[in-house]
Amino acid sequence: MIAKQKIRLFGMALVIAAVGVALQGCGRQEGSIVIPLNMNSDAQALVESGNAKIESGDFDAAIADFNEALKLSPEYAPAFYNRAQAHVGKKDYDIAFEDALKAAQLDPENAQYFLQCGIISYYRQDTVMILLFLKKAEELDPSLEEANRAFLQWAYPGGIHIINN
């Protein structure tokens, strides 16, 4: 029994370490703010257009807008974040997760990006990643604690059993 717990804890430590490595930012750091590189107003306009297309349910057209925005500003986190939303709409959860994670890498101070990673992890049925990302979102924005708790109660009405140290 103790050996299983140690293996489980070691596995969780590896996941945490992998998330830490994956989240090393790619943007230019100024204090605690990461400035997206190569961002321009045309990219912002394309993201706004893509968001309108998501609202109308045209996910493919939205993705096309986000792709164009990323051609103009390859490290523009909001384009990755919103493209992830469009992929969620299409139920392409693995692709959505990649985009959400990229947004979090580019802007590691944005709690919404980590929250999105956690919610997409639910659709991917990855309980460990849900908890890791929701915890990170709460660390960045403590006001998310209640919303995260409500989400977990909805997603797992029977509860999630975690080994606490």
| β-sheet bridge partners, residue 35 | 28
Domains of the chain (ranges; CATH) run 11-22+39-155 (1.25.40.10)
CA distance 57 to 40: 26
What is the Cα 136 distance to its own chain's centre?
10
Residue 2 has pLDDT above 60, yes or no: no
| Digit-coded pLDDT (tens) for 116-142 | 999 999 999 998 899 899 999 999 999
Q: CA nearest 118: which of 79, 76, 78, 147?
A: 147
* Most confident option among 32-41, 46-55, 136-145: 46-55
Q: CA nearest 73: which of 37, 102, 49?
A: 37
> What pLDDT shows up at residue 149?
83
Residues 6+ apart with CB under 8 A from 10: none
3-state helix, strand, coil split of the chain in percent (to 5) is 70, 5, 25
| Torsions phi, psi for 33 (to 5 deg) | -110, 135
CA distance 140 to 150: 18
Written as six digits, the tokens of 107 are: 């802007």
| Digit-coded pLDDT (tens) for 64-107 | 999 999 999 999 999 999 999 999 999 999 999 999 999 999 99
Average pLDDT of the segment spanning 110-120? 95
> What pLDDT shows up at residue 105?
97
In the 8-state DSSP scheme, what is residue 52? H
Instruction: Give the 3-state secondary structure of 61-83.
Output: HHHHHHHHHHHHCCCCHHHHHHH
> What pLDDT shows up at residue 133?
93
As a whole number, the mean pLDDT across the chain is: 79
